[in-house]
Amino acid sequence: MRAILSFSLSLCFALSALGAKPPQASNADGFTPPQLVSKGPKWKTVEQLRQFAAQGDPQACFELGDRLLNGDGMTADPAAARSWLDQAARGGVTEAMFRLGKMNFDGVGGPKSIDLALDYYAQAAVHGVPEAQHNIGAILVSGRGVKRDYPEGLAWLIVAERSGAASNAVARTREHLAKRPADIAAAEKRAAEIIAALADPAQRASAAPRFSTAGARPTTPPPIAEPKVDAPGRVKVDLGPGFTPPKPEVTLPKS
C-alpha cells in the first residue's frame, strides 16, 4: 500500500512538472528582460480603423487616408484622403508627408499649391525619406515652381542617392554641370553638411532645403485672355544640349 501511494505521488509530481509553464528568464537581481511586441495594426476592421483615426491615432489616420486616396476597400475620396493624411503628417508619419507633397504638387484632392508641396517634401526629406529628397533635388535642378539652383538641387540628389533612391539623376546632373566645377564643388559641400545634420536630430533644422520662388518658372502656362489664330505653343526653356532635368518621383512609397 505504501509503495502504491509513493508511486502515485511521484506520478502526480511528474505530470505537474510537464504541465508547468517554463520560467521567465531573469537575472539574479530580479530583472526580467523586455518582452517581444507586435507591430501589427490595432484594428481588425474598417470600422475599427475609422474609430482609431477619429481618436487621432497617427498610423490609423495614415492608413485611412491612403485607402481613401487609392479606393482600397472603400470609395475613393482624394479630398478626404488629404485631410486624414494631414493629420497623420502632424503626428509624425513621414510617408504621409511625402504623399501630401505629391498631392499638393499635382493638385490631387484639392488645389495645386507649390508652397505646400515644398513644405511637405521638406518635412519628409529632413526625416530621411529618399523619394522626398530626390524630388526636392529634381525641383531645384529643373526650376519647377522655384528659382533654379543647381548646387542646392544636386546636393539633395546626392543625399537621396546616399539614402537609397534608385536614380541616375546625380550622374546626369554632374555631366550637365561638367563645365561648372564650382557648382559641383558647392553641391558636394552642401550635401556633406546635409548628411551630417540629418544624423543629429538636434541639427535637422539646418538641413532644411533652401528654396527661392523669385524669378521662378511657372509650373503651368499662364491663361490666354483672348483666343488667337496660330497661337504659339508653350515656350520651351533651353537647359543645354542633351540634358533633361530629373523628374520628381511618381511612385509612392509602400506603407
Report how far residue 67's alpha carbon sits from residue 251's, in angstroms, rounded to the nearest whole number: 16
Domain that holds residue 195: 97-220+243-255
If you ran DSSP here, which 8-state letter would residue 18 be given? H
Q: Which three cell numbers stand for residue 58?
A: 497617427
Q: Which three cell numbers stand for residue 110?
A: 484639392
pLDDT score, position 224: 35
Asked if residues 109 and 103 have their Cβ atoms less than 8 Å apart, the reply is yes
Other CB atoms within 10 A of residue 174 CB: 16
Report how far residue 179's alpha carbon sits from residue 214's, in angstroms, rounded to the nearest whole number: 25
- For 206-239, what is each residue's pLDDT tens digit? 889 988 765 554 444 334 333 333 333 333 333 4
* Together in a domain, 250 and 140: yes
| 111 pLDDT higher than 90 | yes
What is the pTM (predicted TM-score) of this model?
0.69
Counting residues of the chain whose pLDDT is more than 70, the rounded percentage is 71
205 domain-assigned: yes
pLDDT score, position 233: 37
pLDDT score, position 54: 95
* Together in a domain, 102 and 205: yes
* Together in a domain, 71 and 145: no
173 domain-assigned: yes
* Together in a domain, 156 and 85: no
- Counting the structural domains of the chain, the total is 2
- For 187-196, what is each residue's pLDDT tens digit? 999 999 999 9
Report how far residue 58's alpha carbon sits from residue 64's, in angstroms, rounded to the nearest whole number: 10
Chain centroid to CA 177: how far? 29
pLDDT score, position 42: 82
Average the pLDDT over 121-150 and give the result: 94
Final residue of a domain: which of 60, 92, 124? 92
* Together in a domain, 128 and 59: no
Asked if residues 38 and 47 have their Cβ atoms less than 8 Å apart, the reply is no
* Together in a domain, 58 and 151: no
